[in-house]
Amino acid sequence: DPRLFTFSIVDVIKKKKIPVLKTIHNYFDLCPQGELMFKGNEVCTDYLEGRRCGECLSALPLESFMKERLSNTLRGTVLHPLLKRSWRLLRKFTSKPKDIVPGPLPFPPEHYRERRQYSMERLGMLDAVHCYSRRTAEILISHGADEKKISLIPISSDSLNNIRLKPARTKQYPVVFGYLTGKSYIKGYEVLLEAFAMLDQNKAKLLAYGFDEPKHFSEK
């Protein structure tokens, strides 16, 4: 993950002739903010040779970005649950802080272009690349990744196949939909709520998990 390691670590590993496999969790190889989303709410299909990157990053909330980076860095350590509980208590007893929007970043467009070129060159040096989805593989290939090195292995597919179907219930019970990931625009959070609002609420039920602020979801 380029958020934790620089791309140049590939050069060090390859000099030692160690085989390298990379699992693709996001689009940091192509995008400085990782999700190929312009300003967090529009799919980025053309970064205009780096000209859109500075504008995009400057518009992202600094506080949320730094909190997420710290959380991801400490995830799996004993500090993570401790800090998470402390953060929730702080938010509960204080007013919600406004997002801090940073000023324009100092990097010129060519730096973002060079970053993408450099990262894709390192991706080409790997022995194998693992993608969770076909679409992720297609996007990487369209930007120059070696198709022969990419292996498509979907996540959690085996466990889903082993789930036993329950008998169909009578019409008096609502159809239940489940959502697990929290408030995430890029994962379709707003689309889900808009779509569910169109259904007959007597015939459908939505169970959502993973929210730091459940009240926000219920109000929506």
Q: pLDDT per residue over 84-126, tens digit each?
A: 777 767 666 665 544 444 444 568 899 999 999 999 999 999 9
> Which ranges constitute the DSSP H helices of 129-219?
134-142, 157-161, 189-197, 214-219
Q: 17 phi and psi, to 5 degrees?
A: 60, 40
Please give the angle made by the CA atoms of 49, 51 and 55, to the nearest 5 degrees.
145
Q: What is the average pLDDT across 184-202? A: 83
Which among 220, 219, 217, 216 is positioned nearest to 96, based on CA atoms?
Answer: 216
Which among 55, 30, 57 is positioned nearest to 45, based on CA atoms?
Answer: 30
The Cβ of residue 57 has, within 10 Å, a number of other Cβ atoms equal to 19
Lowest-confidence pick of 77-86, 92-101, 208-217? 92-101
- At 21-78, the pLDDT tens digits run 999 988 999 998 888 988 877 888 889 999 899 888 887 765 555 566 666 666 667 6
- At 165-187, the pLDDT tens digits run 777 777 777 888 888 776 667 77
Q: Which amino acid is at 42?
A: E
What pLDDT band is residue 79 in, cutting at 50, 70 and 90?
Answer: confident
